[in-house]
A and B are shown apart, each in its own frame.
Chain A
Amino acid sequence: MSAQSAWTIPEVRTALEARKISARELVMDFYARIAERNSELNIFLALSPERAYAQADKIDAAIAAGDALPVMAGVPVAVKDVISTRGIPTTCGSRILEGYRPAYDATAVTLMERAGAIVLGKTNCDEFAMGSSNENSAYGPVRNPVAPDHVPGGSSGGSAAAVAANLAVASLGTDTGGSIRQPGSFCGVPALNPSYGRVSRYGLIAYASSLDRIGPFAHTVRDAATVMSVIAGRDARDATSASVPVPDYVAGLKRPLHGLRIGIPEDYFGEGIDPEVRKKIEAGIAVLERLGCRRVSIRMPNTNYAIATYYIVATAEASSNLARYDGVRYGPRVPGSTLIEMYQKTRGHGFGAEVKRRIVLGTYVLSAGYYDAYYIKGQKVRALIARDFQEAFEKVDAIVTPTSPVPAFRLGERTANPLQMYLADIYTVTGSLAGVPGISVPCGKSSSGLPIGLQIYGPAFGEDRVLQMAHAFEQAGGPEL
C-alpha cells in the first residue's frame, strides 16, 4: 500500500474481503505512518497498539472463518482524548489528568469496536475541549496537516488532523461550541456535530453538559454517515440520550435534493467574514441551487448575542464540572498543609491558562449577586436563539452558512486576545445553543491553499437531511470549488 493512500470505509472492506491486506497489516501500515508524522504534527497523545492488534486479529479470524463482517470491520479510528478508553491514558489535554487511565470505555467507543473498528489511539485537543486552535493543550499544539505552520482548529484539532493526514480512516471528536465543525473546516474534512442527545455521552469527560456532543470526522460524508449509524441511539447509561429512532443514514444519502429550501441567514454574512470565505460559500450555495435546492433569505435576529450567551452558559457549567479535579481520585497531587490548600495548589498547578480563565468566569457568573444578571439572563437569551432556529425551520429545510468566518490562522497569531478568539466561533455556537445538528463539508480553498468549510444546519434529529445534502454537495464537486 502506498504511504499516501487515503482509505475510506468501503475501501477497507473491499480490500479485507478480497484478502488484499489483512486487518493486522492495515494497522501496521497506519502505525508506521503515525510514527513517521506524529513528531511533526503532534496529533496523537497516546497509542493503543495492544488493543488495536487484538481487535485486528479478531477481524482477521472472522474473515478467515468466512463470517459476516460488521460495518466498520477493520477500520482504523482515532478518538479524542476527552473520551474515556479503558486502560488507555485519557488526559483531556490537561496536566491535571496526567497518567489517568479510565476504568471503563465510553459507549461511543464500545459501539465502534463492536462494529469492528480498531482504535489506534487518542488524539490531542485543547485542554478539556476549551479552545478554537488546539493551542490550549498542555502537550503542545497540533499542526494542521494541510499547512503545518497553521493551527488545525479546535478543540478537536487532533481528530480532524488525524483524518486529514491519513493517520486514521475516521475519528471521534466532541463539539460544545464548534469543536468538531471548525477543525473539520480548517483541516478540509467532513465533520458532523449531531443533535444534542443523538449520541450517548457516557464516558465523555464533561465540559459543558447542556452543550457537549460526540460526532465523527471522516474522509467522505458517506463514511461520516456510516460512523453515525454505529454510534447514534439511546443509551440507558446516559439519561440525556434520546429514544428517537435512528434512520439508515447511508441509505438516505441517495435521495435527490430537488425542492429542498435552504435558508441563508443575512445575519451571518455581515462584518467579520473573510472575503475569500464569503466568495466560496456563495459558490457553494450556487452548487446546492444547481442540485435543485431553493434559496430563501432568512433572518436570525439574535445571532449577534450568541457568543456572549455561550460564554456564560459554557463557563458556568464548566466551573461546576471541573470541580471534581481536586487531587484526590486521579491525576497528580500538589501537597498542601490543609485539604483546601491541597485542592488550591493541585488545581492551580494542574490547569492551564484558558481553563483557569473559564473557571473564574463561570464561577463569577454563578456567584451570589451576579447569578440573575448573567447566568439567568444568558439562559433567557439562549431561549431566543433556539427560537430563531425553530422559526427558521418553519420556512426552510436546512440553513447554510460558513463554518468559520476565517480559514486556519497561523500558530500563535491569536493567542494574545481570548475575546477575539471567542468571536470567531459565531457561526457554530448558535447551533450549539439551539441543540440542532450541523455538518461542515469542504467547500474549496483560499488563494493560499487553506481549506474552507460550508456548514449545513438541520432541525433537531435531522442528521439524515444534513448528511444527504452534504453528500450531494461533495459528489457535485463542492470540495473542489
Chain B
Amino acid sequence: MKISREDVLKVAALANLELSDSEVDTYRGHLDDILTYIDKLNELDTSGVEPLTQVVAASTDDSTLRDDVIVRADIITEVLQGAPDPEAPYFRVPKVIEK
C-alpha cells in the first residue's frame, strides 16, 4: 500500500479540502492505484538529466517581460459583484484575529 487514510487526510488538510469519510476511502484506493502505476518511472535512470519545468522555444528568449506600469482597470464594481460577501471596496471573510 502506497498511501494510507492518514496520508489522504494530511494532504487534504494541506490543500484546505474537506473530504467525507467515504471520499477519503475512495480516493485512497484510486491514489494507491495511480501511485503504484507512477512507480514505473523508477525503471528509468535519470541521473544527469535536468528537470524540464517548462517548454520554452529558443526563439522566445527576447524580452518577455513588459515594463511594470500601472494601468487602471476600473472594474472594482464588476469584480465585487461576483464575490460571495463583498463590502465595497473589500472582500469580507470570517474573523481571523481574536482579541
Contact = CB atoms under 8 A, between A and B. Distances in A.
Interface of A: 87, 99-101, 103-104, 195-197, 210, 236, 239-240, 242-244, 302, 304-305, 307-309, 311-312, 319, 323, 326-333, 335-345, 347-349, 351, 353, 356-357, 359-361, 363-364, 367, 374, 376-384, 386, 418-419, 422, 433-435, 460-461
Majority SS at the chain A contact face = helix
Given A197-B55, A331-B84, A382-B52, 17 more contacts: A99-B82, A101-B78, A103-B73, A196-B55, A240-B56, A243-B59, A305-B41, A323-B15, A328-B84, A329-B91, A333-B84, A339-B93, A344-B18, A363-B15, A377-B42, A383-B50, A383-B52
Given A103-B78, A337-B94, A338-B94, A364 B3 contact: yes
B5 to A, nearest CB: 12
22 contacts: A104-B75, A196-B57, A239-B66, A244-B59, A302-B44, A323-B15, A328-B84, A337-B94, A338-B96, A347-B16, A347-B17, A351-B17, A357-B31, A359-B15, A360-B8, A360-B31, A361-B34, A380-B50, A381-B41, A419-B37, A422-B34, A461-B57
**In the complex, the 5 A-B pairs of residues with the closest C-beta atoms, listed nearest first:** A435-B55, A348-B18, A379-B51, A333-B84, A383-B52
Contacts of A379: 51-53
B57 A344 contact: no
A336 B96 CA distance: 12
Interface residues on B, range: 35 or more
A241 to B, nearest CB: 8
Contacts of B64: 239-240, 243
B17 to A, nearest CB: 5
A367 B56 CA distance: 26
Contacts of A100: 82
B38 interface: yes
Given A100-B82, A333-B84, A419-B30, A243 B62 contact: yes
Given A101-B82, A340-B16, A434-B55, A374 B38 contact: yes
A243 B83 CA distance: 36
B25 interface: no
Given A308-B38, A339-B96, A380 B49 contact: yes
A364 B31 contact: yes
B50 to A, nearest CB: 6
A364 B11 contact: yes
Nearest to B15: A363
A311 B27 contact: no
Contacts of B26: 353
B44 A363 contact: no
Contacts of B40: 304-305, 308
B30 A319 contact: no
A448 B7 CA distance: 45
B93 A360 contact: no
B15 A328 contact: no
B82 A330 contact: yes
Contacts of A104: 73, 75
A109 B19 CA distance: 37
A347 B73 CA distance: 29
A304 B11 CA distance: 28
A304 B75 CA distance: 48
B65 interface: yes
Contacts of A357: 27, 30-31
A16 to B, nearest CB: 33
Contacts of A327: 84
A341 B95 CA distance: 11
A360 B17 contact: yes
Contacts of B41: 305, 308-309, 377-378, 381
B37 to A, nearest CB: 6
Contacts of B60: 197, 242-244
B34 A344 contact: no
A101 B38 CA distance: 38
Contact of A376 (B15, B17, B51, B91): B51
Contact of B93 (A309, A328, A344, A356): A328
